[in-house]
Amino acid sequence: MKKQRKIVYRFFDDHEEKHYVLSSFDHKQLEELLEKYKSKKTEVIAKDFISYLKRRDAEAEEVSVIDFYF
């Protein structure tokens, strides 16, 4: 059985806030979903979009990215 790969995406919402989301969708699928979302909204708000994404990708979640130096 092939393990499904997850990807971390970085994006900025309309308030120029940076967010990271982990998703099993590939880049094209995520772009298509974002276009559908944008067609129904006047602005992209990260928290709303992530909730919208979670309804279509049960494995999606917002993640924190922290620099690690050694």
What's the domain range around 20? 7-63
Residue 70 located in a structural domain: no
Residue 69 located in a structural domain: no
The pLDDT value recorded for residue 1 is 62
- pTM here? 0.80
Residue 38 located in a structural domain: yes
User: What is the rounded CA–CA span in Å between residue 58 and residue 43?
Assistant: 24
- Three-class SS of residue 2? coil
Q: Per-residue pLDDT for the chain (70 aa), expressed as one digit of tens each?
A: 667 789 999 999 898 989 999 999 999 999 999 999 999 988 989 899 999 999 999 999 999 999 899 8
Nearest to 14, CA basis, from 52, 36, 37, 43: 43
Q: What is the domain count for the chain?
A: 1
